[in-house]
């Protein structure tokens, strides 16, 4: 029995894989302490399966603790130790502005204030020290930091990615002087060059780790008390690590929530026979989009959260504030806007009847007839159409629109936000979306898939039966993974197969050792650039590639991305990243039917499509395989709802995925 529990902004989802079937459950998220909602979801799914917690063999967890803390600025009291003369490196940052035409816009301030920045009397170069750290200097520095009583300390010394000796010595002294504080060393957190990005990432790691450690301690205690195994934690890279490692390096988990969804999306895309897919996960609070190509999610070596760079491997997810709970409002110019503010889990959309009065995307979908007013949503949330109409009507009066026109406008604006996000990960990166399927999931994703596909000229939509809990399913099937990376700076005569293989072998041994698995699979990514360029392009190759092979892979990618290659220019290998992976569980969706599936009940109701009131067929429950569905129709699944608009038709495959195809005639 395998359990996956994912915490979202509105709901906490659970999936249990047992005896060749999937059991699912949703419970409201508990923002004050997410571990309460996690245990409630686990108890709900075990109750549905009629099984006991002692039967669970593995428990994987994805959460938003680190993300929320960073977005809200609720971080630990953090000190920064940097090479003398470089203590303001994060405050100085780069030369670029956050917004080109708003000179008053500023980057977020450092997490370590000026009074908590301390200078280390040392200086390192890529070749070695030019100012050695004296034997007593580390103890003296720790004695200077200790009276400030920080909860965490980030240690970022120049060129420690190449020579970490000074960082280790200072880290040892700080651990002795501050036994209760968390210590983050940049060579352990990041391990690559570019001092600003390395420093900013290490500062984030230090500021979040005490909070995540506290949360995971509570979760582990609750899990132990409930008879569950200790959870493994989803990282930003789409792989699982043990809870102790996650608590020590919170920066590795900042994208934990979205990463579970991408893993589930890639898994479903492969099983549905559509390995190239654009994925959008529309939940209650936000919409996450990504690209799956060849059955794998696109990754990137750097990302940015709340304006703070993270120089760590992560799934290439782009997020916008367009979810079912996103609030619709009128801006000062009288234009209709949606999000990024969300009604959240409490009070939620107006139609939830929990005290919310502002109109949301869910209220609009209910008012237009896409959601059933007589059927509760997942988590036993009952909808009140009158409350939704009152909320939308109030906004409509401000805009001069009747309630139905206002509801349609809310949907169009929300769709525009999601389209913008999908274009960021496709068109802006040289990808033609027309060659991909659109995989829609999340509780609200399949409702909006048809309109999104029409705009992108996509002819094929995938809606999994587990759409509403796909992130939790992704946790069940995700591998255990550990990334190790190092700046190599190899070019000319130094760029040899032996030098490259030596670094890969060392990093691979580190990854396998961290996983405790000598059988772990090893893969490598190489970041290269032409000499003089500021940024690199990543290519994948074997563990011991020939230089000519790497150069050709890089040149082909450079030509594809920028339109040219330069055979006369020298190529530099900058960073080598090695991944150690233990594959995840194999779950056959074809045999993993839902527990006690409902017999589909067909009916009809009135809905508004394209400004017209039409009669749509309703199918309550999952239709059996090979069922064909004509438009217009609404398929009401346990955790999500699929809208099949005019000019589309649906068919259910052997795994319970609904394939929607455009009727070209």
Confidence label for 591 from pLDDT (cuts 50, 70 and 90): low
The Cα–Cα gap between 38 and 472 comes to 11
The reported pLDDT for the residue numbered 247 is: 95
- Is 80 exceeded by the pLDDT of residue 518? yes
Confidence label for 590 from pLDDT (cuts 50, 70 and 90): low
The reported pLDDT for the residue numbered 57 is: 94
Q: Mind listing the pLDDT tens digit for each residue in 165-217?
A: 999 999 999 999 999 999 999 999 999 999 999 999 999 999 999 999 999 99
The reported pLDDT for the residue numbered 72 is: 83
Q: Mind listing the pLDDT tens digit for each residue in 617-645?
A: 999 988 888 999 999 999 998 888 999 99
Mean pLDDT on 613-620 = 94
Among 103-107, 122-126, 130-134, name the one with the lowest average pLDDT. 103-107
Q: How many CA atoms lie within 13 A of 352 on its CB side?
A: 26
The reported pLDDT for the residue numbered 263 is: 94
The reported pLDDT for the residue numbered 375 is: 78
The reported pLDDT for the residue numbered 594 is: 52
Q: Mind listing the pLDDT tens digit for each residue in 366-394?
A: 999 999 888 777 666 789 999 999 999 99
Among 6-15, 104-113, 484-493, name the one with the lowest average pLDDT. 6-15
Confidence label for 531 from pLDDT (cuts 50, 70 and 90): very high
User: Which segments of 256-310 are extended strands (E)?
Assistant: 277-282, 287-293, 296-297, 299-300, 303-305, 308-310
The reported pLDDT for the residue numbered 378 is: 65
Measured between alpha carbons, how far apart are the two ends of the chain, in Å? Answer: 47
The reported pLDDT for the residue numbered 312 is: 94
Q: Mind listing the pLDDT tens digit for each residue in 23-68?
A: 888 888 888 899 999 999 999 999 999 999 999 999 999 998 898 8
Q: From 638, 628, 619, 616, select the one nearest 658 (Cα to Cα).
A: 628
Q: Mind listing the pLDDT tens digit for each residue in 232-278?
A: 999 999 999 999 999 999 999 999 989 999 999 999 999 999 999 99
The Cα–Cα gap between 589 and 656 comes to 7
Q: Mind listing the pLDDT tens digit for each residue in 421-475?
A: 999 999 888 889 999 999 999 888 999 999 999 999 999 999 998 888 999 999 9
User: Alpha helix locations (H) across 323-402?
Assistant: 361-367, 385-399
SS3 of 74-143: the string is CCCCEEEEEECCCCCHHHHCCCCCCCCCCCCCCCCCCCCCHHHEEEECCEEECCEEEECCCCCHHHHHHH
The reported pLDDT for the residue numbered 596 is: 47
The Cα–Cα gap between 235 and 250 comes to 9
Q: The domain 480-582 is classified under which CATH number: 3.30.1490, 3.30.1330, 2.30.240, 2.60.40?
A: 3.30.1490
Mean pLDDT of the chain: 92
Q: How many CA atoms lie within 13 A of 125 on its CB side?
A: 5
3 state DSSP class of 420: helix
The reported pLDDT for the residue numbered 595 is: 47
The reported pLDDT for the residue numbered 640 is: 87
Q: Do 159 and 190 touch, CB atoms closer than 8 A?
A: no
Q: Do 281 and 470 touch, CB atoms closer than 8 A?
A: yes
Confidence label for 341 from pLDDT (cuts 50, 70 and 90): confident
SS3 of 198-214: the string is HHHHHHHHHHHHHHHHH
Q: Among residues of the chain, what percentage have pLDDT more than 90?
A: 75
The reported pLDDT for the residue numbered 285 is: 79
- Is 50 exceeded by the pLDDT of residue 128? yes
The Cα–Cα gap between 154 and 152 comes to 7
The reported pLDDT for the residue numbered 27 is: 87
The Cα–Cα gap between 189 and 203 comes to 10
- Is 60 exceeded by the pLDDT of residue 592? no
Q: Do the bridges between strand 628-630 and strand 641-644 make them parallel or antiparallel, or are there none, so unpaired?
A: unpaired
Helix or strand holding residue 221 (H, E): helix 195-225
Mean pLDDT on 540-548 = 94
Whole-model pTM: value is: 0.90
Confidence label for 113 from pLDDT (cuts 50, 70 and 90): very high
Residue 596: other Cβ atoms inside 10 A? 10
């Amino acid at each position: 029995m395998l359990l996956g529990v994912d915490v979202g902004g509105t709901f906490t989802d659970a999936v249990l894989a047992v005896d060749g079937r999937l059991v699912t459950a949703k419970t409201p998220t508990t923002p004050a302490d997410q571990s309460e909602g996690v245990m409630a979801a686990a108890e709900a799914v075990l109750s549905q399966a009629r099984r006991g917690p002692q039967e669970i063999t593995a428990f994987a967890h994805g959460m938003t603790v680190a993300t929320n803390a960073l977005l809200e600025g609720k971080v630990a009291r953090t000190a920064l130790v940097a090479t003398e003369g470089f203590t303001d490196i994060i405050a100085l940052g780069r030369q670029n502005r956050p917004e080109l035409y708003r000179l008053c816009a500023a980057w977020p301030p450092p997490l370590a204030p000026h009074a908590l920045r301390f200078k280390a009397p040392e200086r390192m170069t890529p070749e070695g020290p030019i100012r050695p750290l004296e034997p007593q200097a580390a103890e003296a520095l720790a004695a200077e930091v200790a009276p400030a009583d920080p909860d965490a300390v980030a240690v970022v010394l120049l060129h420690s990615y190449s020579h970490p000796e000074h960082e280790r010595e200072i880290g040892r002294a700080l651990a002795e002087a501050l036994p209760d504080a968390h210590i983050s060393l940049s060579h352990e957190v990041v391990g690559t060059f570019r001092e600003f990005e390395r420093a900013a990432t290490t500062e984030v790691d230090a500021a979040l780790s005490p909070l995540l450690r506290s949360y995971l301690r509570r979760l582990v205690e609750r899990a132990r008390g409930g008879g569950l195994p200790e959870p493994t934690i989803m990282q930003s890279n789409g792989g699982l690590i043990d809870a102790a490692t996650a608590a020590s390096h919170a920066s590795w988990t900042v994208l934990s929530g979205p990463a579970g969804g991408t893993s589930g999306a890639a898994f479903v895309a492969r099983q549905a026979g559509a390995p190239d897919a654009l994925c959008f996960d529309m939940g209650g609070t936000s919409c996450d989009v990504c690209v799956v190509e060849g059955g794998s999610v696109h990754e990137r070596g750097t990302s940015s959260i709340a304006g703070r760079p993270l120089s760590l491997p992560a799934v290439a997810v782009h997020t916008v504030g367009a979810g079912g709970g996103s609030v619709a409002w009128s801006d000062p110019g009288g234009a209709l806007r949606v999000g990024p503010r969300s009604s959240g889990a409490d009070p939620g959309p107006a139609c939830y009847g929990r005290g919310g009065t502002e109109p949301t995307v869910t209220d609009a979908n209910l008012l237009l007839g896409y959601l059933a007013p007589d059927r509760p949503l997942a988590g036993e949330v009952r909808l009140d159409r009158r409350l939704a109409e009152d909320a939308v009507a109030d906004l409509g009066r401000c805009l001069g629109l009747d309630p139905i026109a206002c509801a349609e406008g809310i949907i169009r604006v929300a769709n525009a936000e999601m389209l913008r996000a999908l274009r960021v990960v496709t068109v802006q990166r040289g990808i033609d979306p027309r060659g991909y399927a659109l995989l829609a999931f999340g509780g609200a994703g399949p409702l909006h898939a048809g309109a999104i596909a029409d705009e992108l000229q996509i002819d094929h939509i995938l809606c999994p039966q587990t759409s509403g809990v796909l992130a939790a399913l992704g946790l069940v099937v995700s591998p255990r993974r550990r990334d190790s990376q190092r700046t190599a700076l190899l070019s000319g005569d130094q760029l040899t197969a032996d030098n490259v293989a030596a670094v890969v072998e060392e990093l691979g041994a580190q990854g396998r050792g961290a996983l405790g698995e000598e059988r772990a699979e090893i893969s490598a990514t190489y970041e290269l650039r032409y000499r003089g360029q500021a940024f690199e392009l990543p290519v994948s190759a074997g563990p011991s590639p020939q230089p000519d092979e790497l150069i050709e892979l890089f040149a082909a990618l450079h030509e594809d991305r920028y339109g040219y290659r330069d055979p006369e220019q020298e190529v530099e290998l900058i960073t080598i990243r090695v991944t150690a992976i233990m594959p995840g569980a194999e779950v056959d969706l074809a045999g993993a039917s839902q527990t006690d599936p409902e017999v589909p009940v067909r009916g009809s109701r009135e809905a508004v499509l394209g400004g017209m009131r039409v009669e749509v067929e309703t199918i309550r429950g999952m239709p059996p395989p090979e069922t064909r569905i004509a438009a217009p129709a609404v398929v009401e699944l346990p955790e999500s709802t699929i809208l099949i608009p005019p000019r589309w038709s649906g068919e259910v495959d052997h795994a319970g995925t609904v394939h929607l195809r455009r009727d070209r005639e």
